[in-house]
Structure 1
Amino acid sequence: MRLLTRVAVAVALLALGAGTAVASVAVHELGWALPLAVAATLLTLVALPAGWWTRLPFALGWTCLVAWVVGPRPEGDYVISSDVQGYVVVGLALLVLVLGIATLPRPGGRAREPDATGTAGERESAGIRS
Protein backbone atom coordinates (compact mmCIF):
# COMPACT_ATOMS: atom_id res chain seq x y z
CA MET A 1 0.00 0.00 0.00
CA ARG A 2 2.88 2.36 0.78
CA LEU A 3 4.37 1.91 -2.70
CA LEU A 4 0.99 2.56 -4.30
CA THR A 5 0.70 5.83 -2.35
CA ARG A 6 4.20 6.89 -3.41
CA VAL A 7 3.44 6.17 -7.06
CA ALA A 8 0.17 8.11 -6.87
CA VAL A 9 1.93 11.11 -5.29
CA ALA A 10 4.69 10.95 -7.91
CA VAL A 11 2.18 10.87 -10.78
CA ALA A 12 0.26 13.79 -9.26
CA LEU A 13 3.46 15.80 -8.86
CA LEU A 14 4.52 14.95 -12.41
CA ALA A 15 1.19 16.34 -13.63
CA LEU A 16 1.55 19.38 -11.35
CA GLY A 17 5.01 20.08 -12.77
CA ALA A 18 3.73 19.78 -16.33
CA GLY A 19 0.76 22.02 -15.52
CA THR A 20 2.99 24.64 -13.96
CA ALA A 21 5.21 24.52 -17.04
CA VAL A 22 2.19 24.95 -19.34
CA ALA A 23 1.15 28.03 -17.38
CA SER A 24 4.72 29.38 -17.41
CA VAL A 25 5.08 28.90 -21.16
CA ALA A 26 1.66 30.40 -21.80
CA VAL A 27 2.46 33.65 -19.98
CA HIS A 28 6.21 33.95 -20.60
CA GLU A 29 5.71 36.81 -23.09
CA LEU A 30 3.91 39.01 -20.55
CA GLY A 31 6.29 41.28 -18.68
CA TRP A 32 4.59 40.98 -15.30
CA ALA A 33 3.77 37.27 -15.55
CA LEU A 34 7.22 35.82 -16.21
CA PRO A 35 8.61 36.74 -12.76
CA LEU A 36 5.45 35.32 -11.22
CA ALA A 37 5.87 32.07 -13.16
CA VAL A 38 9.53 31.82 -12.13
CA ALA A 39 8.67 32.48 -8.49
CA ALA A 40 5.80 29.96 -8.49
CA THR A 41 8.02 27.30 -10.02
CA LEU A 42 10.98 27.82 -7.71
CA LEU A 43 8.87 28.19 -4.56
CA THR A 44 7.01 24.97 -5.36
CA LEU A 45 10.29 23.21 -5.98
CA VAL A 46 11.72 24.43 -2.68
CA ALA A 47 8.52 23.64 -0.74
CA LEU A 48 8.48 20.02 -1.88
CA PRO A 49 10.64 17.67 0.18
CA ALA A 50 13.68 16.37 -1.63
CA GLY A 51 13.26 12.84 -2.86
CA TRP A 52 12.69 10.40 -5.66
CA TRP A 53 8.93 10.43 -5.15
CA THR A 54 8.37 14.14 -4.45
CA ARG A 55 10.65 16.87 -5.83
CA LEU A 56 12.10 14.90 -8.73
CA PRO A 57 8.74 14.08 -10.40
CA PHE A 58 7.75 17.76 -10.25
CA ALA A 59 11.09 18.76 -11.79
CA LEU A 60 10.83 16.10 -14.50
CA GLY A 61 7.28 17.10 -15.38
CA TRP A 62 8.27 20.75 -15.66
CA THR A 63 11.44 20.11 -17.65
CA CYS A 64 9.99 17.49 -19.99
CA LEU A 65 7.09 19.72 -20.96
CA VAL A 66 9.39 22.66 -21.72
CA ALA A 67 11.68 20.33 -23.70
CA TRP A 68 8.67 19.13 -25.66
CA VAL A 69 7.43 22.62 -26.60
CA VAL A 70 10.84 24.16 -27.29
CA GLY A 71 11.07 22.57 -30.74
CA PRO A 72 9.50 24.04 -33.87
CA ARG A 73 5.82 23.50 -34.61
CA PRO A 74 4.62 22.05 -37.93
CA GLU A 75 3.77 25.56 -39.12
CA GLY A 76 7.41 26.58 -38.73
CA ASP A 77 7.04 28.87 -35.72
CA TYR A 78 7.96 28.28 -32.09
CA VAL A 79 5.96 28.17 -28.85
CA ILE A 80 8.87 29.60 -26.86
CA SER A 81 10.29 32.70 -28.47
CA SER A 82 13.99 33.26 -29.03
CA ASP A 83 14.19 36.41 -26.96
CA VAL A 84 15.11 37.15 -23.36
CA GLN A 85 11.83 35.77 -22.02
CA GLY A 86 12.22 32.53 -23.98
CA TYR A 87 15.77 32.06 -22.81
CA VAL A 88 14.64 32.64 -19.22
CA VAL A 89 12.11 29.81 -19.57
CA VAL A 90 14.68 27.44 -21.10
CA GLY A 91 17.25 28.40 -18.45
CA LEU A 92 14.66 27.89 -15.74
CA ALA A 93 13.96 24.42 -17.13
CA LEU A 94 17.63 23.54 -16.79
CA LEU A 95 17.75 24.99 -13.28
CA VAL A 96 14.65 23.03 -12.23
CA LEU A 97 16.17 19.81 -13.56
CA VAL A 98 19.50 20.42 -11.83
CA LEU A 99 17.82 21.26 -8.51
CA GLY A 100 15.56 18.22 -8.78
CA ILE A 101 18.52 15.90 -9.31
CA ALA A 102 21.11 17.60 -7.10
CA THR A 103 18.91 17.56 -4.02
CA LEU A 104 18.16 13.83 -4.14
CA PRO A 105 19.03 12.01 -0.90
CA ARG A 106 22.40 10.33 -0.87
CA PRO A 107 22.34 6.55 -1.27
CA GLY A 108 23.55 4.38 1.56
CA GLY A 109 20.96 4.88 4.25
CA ARG A 110 20.79 7.30 7.10
CA ALA A 111 23.54 9.00 9.06
CA ARG A 112 24.81 7.23 12.14
CA GLU A 113 22.98 7.82 15.36
CA PRO A 114 24.64 9.86 18.13
CA ASP A 115 25.14 8.09 21.41
CA ALA A 116 25.24 9.26 25.01
CA THR A 117 28.97 10.10 24.97
CA GLY A 118 28.77 12.46 21.97
CA THR A 119 28.00 12.37 18.31
CA ALA A 120 29.61 9.78 16.10
CA GLY A 121 31.43 12.48 14.12
CA GLU A 122 32.93 14.05 17.25
CA ARG A 123 34.11 10.68 18.50
CA GLU A 124 35.81 9.81 15.19
CA SER A 125 37.51 13.19 14.91
CA ALA A 126 38.91 12.74 18.43
CA GLY A 127 40.30 9.32 17.50
CA ILE A 128 37.92 7.41 19.79
CA ARG A 129 36.60 4.17 18.39
CA SER A 130 33.75 2.07 19.70
Structure 2
Amino acid sequence: MVLQRVLLAVLWLLAGAAVGTCAVLLHRYPWGLLLGLATTAAVLVAAVPGWWGRPAFAAGWLVVLAVASAERAEGDYLIAADGRGYTLLLSGTVVLAAGVAGFFRRPRRVHDSGGVETAP
Protein backbone atom coordinates (compact mmCIF):
# COMPACT_ATOMS: atom_id res chain seq x y z
CA MET A 1 0.00 0.00 0.00
CA VAL A 2 2.77 2.45 0.90
CA LEU A 3 4.74 1.53 -2.22
CA GLN A 4 1.70 2.29 -4.36
CA ARG A 5 1.31 5.69 -2.74
CA VAL A 6 4.99 6.48 -3.25
CA LEU A 7 4.64 5.55 -6.91
CA LEU A 8 1.54 7.73 -7.19
CA ALA A 9 3.40 10.61 -5.53
CA VAL A 10 6.22 10.32 -8.07
CA LEU A 11 3.72 10.28 -10.94
CA TRP A 12 1.87 13.31 -9.57
CA LEU A 13 5.20 15.08 -9.07
CA LEU A 14 6.16 14.44 -12.70
CA ALA A 15 2.70 15.55 -13.87
CA GLY A 16 3.09 18.78 -11.90
CA ALA A 17 6.50 19.37 -13.43
CA ALA A 18 5.10 18.78 -16.94
CA VAL A 19 2.14 21.12 -16.48
CA GLY A 20 4.35 23.71 -14.81
CA THR A 21 6.85 23.56 -17.66
CA CYS A 22 4.10 24.09 -20.22
CA ALA A 23 2.66 26.97 -18.21
CA VAL A 24 6.05 28.68 -17.92
CA LEU A 25 6.97 28.21 -21.57
CA LEU A 26 3.59 29.38 -22.90
CA HIS A 27 2.79 32.19 -20.45
CA ARG A 28 3.97 34.83 -22.94
CA TYR A 29 0.91 34.19 -25.10
CA PRO A 30 -2.50 35.12 -23.67
CA TRP A 31 -3.98 31.78 -24.72
CA GLY A 32 -0.95 29.96 -23.29
CA LEU A 33 -1.29 31.62 -19.90
CA LEU A 34 -5.00 30.87 -19.74
CA LEU A 35 -4.48 27.29 -20.87
CA GLY A 36 -1.66 26.73 -18.36
CA LEU A 37 -3.64 28.15 -15.46
CA ALA A 38 -6.84 26.33 -16.43
CA THR A 39 -4.98 23.03 -16.71
CA THR A 40 -3.30 23.61 -13.37
CA ALA A 41 -6.61 24.41 -11.68
CA ALA A 42 -8.35 21.42 -13.25
CA VAL A 43 -5.66 18.99 -12.14
CA LEU A 44 -5.57 20.45 -8.62
CA VAL A 45 -9.32 19.96 -8.32
CA ALA A 46 -9.16 16.43 -9.75
CA ALA A 47 -6.14 15.31 -7.71
CA VAL A 48 -6.77 13.26 -4.62
CA PRO A 49 -6.01 14.80 -1.23
CA GLY A 50 -3.21 13.23 0.76
CA TRP A 51 0.55 13.57 0.51
CA TRP A 52 0.64 11.36 -2.59
CA GLY A 53 -1.79 13.47 -4.66
CA ARG A 54 -2.41 17.20 -4.66
CA PRO A 55 0.67 18.22 -2.62
CA ALA A 56 2.96 16.18 -4.88
CA PHE A 57 1.49 17.81 -8.00
CA ALA A 58 1.86 21.26 -6.45
CA ALA A 59 5.47 20.52 -5.46
CA GLY A 60 6.39 19.54 -9.01
CA TRP A 61 4.69 22.65 -10.41
CA LEU A 62 6.38 24.94 -7.88
CA VAL A 63 9.85 23.47 -8.44
CA VAL A 64 9.59 24.28 -12.14
CA LEU A 65 8.39 27.81 -11.32
CA ALA A 66 11.28 28.32 -8.89
CA VAL A 67 13.87 27.10 -11.39
CA ALA A 68 12.37 29.25 -14.15
CA SER A 69 12.37 32.32 -11.88
CA ALA A 70 16.14 32.24 -11.46
CA GLU A 71 18.34 34.50 -13.56
CA ARG A 72 19.72 32.85 -16.69
CA ALA A 73 23.37 32.93 -17.77
CA GLU A 74 22.63 35.69 -20.30
CA GLY A 75 21.40 37.93 -17.49
CA ASP A 76 17.73 37.78 -18.43
CA TYR A 77 14.80 35.84 -17.02
CA LEU A 78 12.56 33.17 -18.48
CA ILE A 79 9.51 34.72 -16.83
CA ALA A 80 8.94 38.24 -18.10
CA ALA A 81 8.46 41.19 -15.74
CA ASP A 82 5.07 42.09 -17.16
CA GLY A 83 1.45 41.40 -16.31
CA ARG A 84 1.50 37.84 -17.61
CA GLY A 85 4.72 37.02 -15.77
CA TYR A 86 3.42 38.43 -12.51
CA THR A 87 0.15 36.56 -13.01
CA LEU A 88 2.11 33.33 -13.39
CA LEU A 89 4.17 34.06 -10.28
CA LEU A 90 1.05 34.98 -8.30
CA SER A 91 -0.58 31.74 -9.37
CA GLY A 92 2.35 29.99 -7.70
CA THR A 93 1.03 31.14 -4.32
CA VAL A 94 -2.40 29.76 -5.18
CA VAL A 95 -0.83 26.43 -6.18
CA LEU A 96 1.14 26.44 -2.92
CA ALA A 97 -2.04 27.03 -0.91
CA ALA A 98 -3.85 24.27 -2.78
CA GLY A 99 -0.95 21.92 -2.16
CA VAL A 100 -0.91 22.65 1.56
CA ALA A 101 -4.69 22.27 1.70
CA GLY A 102 -4.27 18.89 0.00
CA PHE A 103 -2.64 17.50 3.12
CA PHE A 104 -5.97 17.72 4.92
CA ARG A 105 -8.91 15.52 4.05
CA ARG A 106 -12.45 16.81 4.23
CA PRO A 107 -14.59 15.08 6.85
CA ARG A 108 -17.08 12.64 5.43
CA ARG A 109 -20.68 13.64 5.65
CA VAL A 110 -23.06 11.33 7.41
CA HIS A 111 -26.10 10.82 5.24
CA ASP A 112 -29.28 10.80 7.27
CA SER A 113 -32.23 8.92 5.89
CA GLY A 114 -34.46 11.46 7.62
CA GLY A 115 -38.08 11.16 8.53
CA VAL A 116 -37.89 8.94 11.63
CA GLU A 117 -36.83 10.38 14.93
CA THR A 118 -35.58 8.01 17.62
CA ALA A 119 -35.62 10.44 20.55
CA PRO A 120 -38.82 11.96 22.02
- Give the whole-Å Cα distance in 1 for the aligned partners of 2:26 and 2:78: 11
Q: Any idea what SS the aligned residue of 1:77 has?
A: coil
Give the gaps of 5 or more residues in structure 1: 115-130
Report the structure number with the largest CA radius of gyration: 1
State the TM-score, normalizing by the size of structure 2: 0.84
Structure 1: 4+ residue segments shifted above 3 A: none
Extract unaligned runs of 5+ from structure 2: 112-120
Deviations 1:46-97 (A, max 9, x none): 1111111111000010011101110110110100001011011111111101
Relative contact order (alpha carbons < 8 A, sep ≥ 6): 1 or 2 greater?
Answer: 2
Q: Percent identity?
A: 38
Query: Structure 1 length as normaliser, TM-score?
Result: 0.78
CA distance in 1, matches of 2:31, 2:63: 25
Residues 1-130 of structure 1: pairs in structure 2 closer than 5 A: 2-105=1-104
SS in 1 for 2:30: coil
C-alpha distance in 1 between matches for 2:4 and 2:30: 39
**Match for 1:82: what amino acid?**
A
Aligned partner of residue 57 in structure 1, secondary structure: helix
